[in-house]
Amino acid sequence: MRTVGYGGPVPDDGRADLTFNLELVCSQCTSRYARCSDCGGGGGVRLGVGKWRCKELFTPPRKTCDLSHARQSSVASMEYAIVRISEISQADMPVIIAQCKHVFESALYSSLAVPEVLERGVAAASTFADIKKRVDTGWEEAQHFIDEDVEGTLGFRRYLGLRWAAPKPRKSASRRATDQADKSAKPIDPSSIQRPGMNLSGYVTGEWDIYGGTLYISVSVPYSTGESYEGSAHLISMMTKVVHEDREAMIRNMLDSGQTHNLDRIRPVQHCFTMLFFAPESKLVSFLESKRQLVPLERYLALYPETDPTVFPPYRTVADNIRTQPGWNCLVRRVVPMPPSLPNQPMRKANSRIKF
């Protein structure tokens, strides 16, 4: 919403204490948005608790929106895992797809279907229909990064980073019921990447260009600040470490098999980039520049003129919606590469304190 004025009520005699305050909302906004008190937030120039969201996210006669309001554990107590797409079993794949879809759609509706975005046009959208179209087409492309292995055809190795959180019911009775359910839950299958009794709270998909030396973060949800940011940053750090280790293993195998003439093709992983459909002046882009050192591609190429621009879009293959829809921006950050292992020397471990 846009602030067009501010002030407050004044008593007639100028002396009486006022036991109330006012929040003025224009008629256009009240016809498009409703406040969900269960979403938390509030403060600042607004009164009351909650967030204003598109009315399409509400099911009458409910006064709260349809998004999940489950309370989750802290980032430190969450469980994390990085898997290669090729390692996900056929039994796990449908469940993982459904869980990731729920997280993806919830994250986009929660972040985009709000007046701060629609009334300012920072995401090239002005109506809920625009947001819904982006969510639907976005998921169609996002799913491919989970269930399509393209390493043999494109030379891109895909990874999935998952973050689980234990549910935190509000009422003690519900909490006791959850604790009892956890105790009776089936034991974890060591071959499965699922976590019984926990909720998938976020995920990241990445694509290592084996011959281009880049790590493309295709999806990272939710992408808000605070604990969600910390959780996603940890997943990306873990994924970067796994990519370094996979490159080391690949080089070791090539050395052991005598394929030294192909070593130069496996470039060091030097660039990590992502694509965003947000205006360059938006708060999210500014946040990513200041916190994750991601800068627009043009500026990055000026900072590192030795960089090969063909390893980035539009030269590099990306999702169809990014390739055909104008308005996408490429943001890049430098990754400190690991030197290849030498023959008869132990393979170095990736730095576990890599920050993103």
Q: Within this chain, do residues 99 and 230 fall inside the same structural domain, yes or no?
A: yes
Buried b (16+ CB within 10 A) or exposed e, 224-260: eeebbbebbbbbbbbbbbbbbebbbeebbebbeeeee
pTM for the whole structure: 0.80
Answer yes or no: do 12 and 83 share one domain.
no
Structure token digits, residue 87? 């390692």
Q: Does one domain contain both 240 and 262?
A: yes
The residue out of 63, 92, 117 marking a domain boundary is: 63
The pLDDT of residue 58 is above 80: yes
Q: Please name every residue paired with 161 in a beta bridge, in sequence order, or none if there are none.
A: 82, 204
Give the single-character DSSP code of 201: E
SS3 272: strand
33-45: pLDDT as tens digits: 999 988 865 444 4
3-state SS, residue 271? strand
Q: Are 8 and 121 part of one and the same domain? A: no
| Averaged pLDDT, 201-206 | 94
In this predicted structure, the answer to whether residue 169 has a pLDDT above a threshold of 50 is yes
Question: What's the domain count of the chain?
Answer: 2
**For residue range 253-271, what is the model confidence (pLDDT) as tens digits?**
999 998 888 888 999 999 9
Same domain, 254 and 301: yes
SS (H, E, C) 65-98: ECCCCCCECCHHHCEEEEEEHHHCCCCCHHHHHH
Task: Determine the average pLDDT of the residues in 277-281.
Answer: 64
Other beta carbons within 10 angstroms of residue 103's beta carbon come to 21
Q: Do 50 and 88 share a domain, yes or no?
A: no
State yes or no: pLDDT of 188 exceeds 60. no
CA distance 181 to 229: 30
Mean pLDDT for 224-237 is 77
Query: CA 137, 106, 126 angle in degrees (round to 5)?
Result: 60
Long-range contacts of 146-149 (CB under 8 A, 24+ apart): 146/85, 146/88, 146/93, 146/96, 146/97, 146/100, 146/205, 147/85, 147/93, 147/97, 148/85, 149/85, 149/86
Tell whether 81 and 59 lie within a shared domain: no
Question: In degrees, to the nearest 5, what angle opens at C-alpha 271 toward C-alphas 267 and 272?
Answer: 130
pLDDT, tens only, 126-148: 899 999 998 998 899 999 999 99
* Domain hosting residue 56, numbered range: 1-63
| Cα separation, 114 vs 133, whole angstroms | 15
Q: What is the C-alpha to C-alpha distance for residues 151 and 153, in angstroms, rounded to an integer?
A: 6
**In this structure, are 79 and 220 located in the same domain?**
yes
Shared-domain flag, residues 14 and 144: no
pLDDT at 17: 77
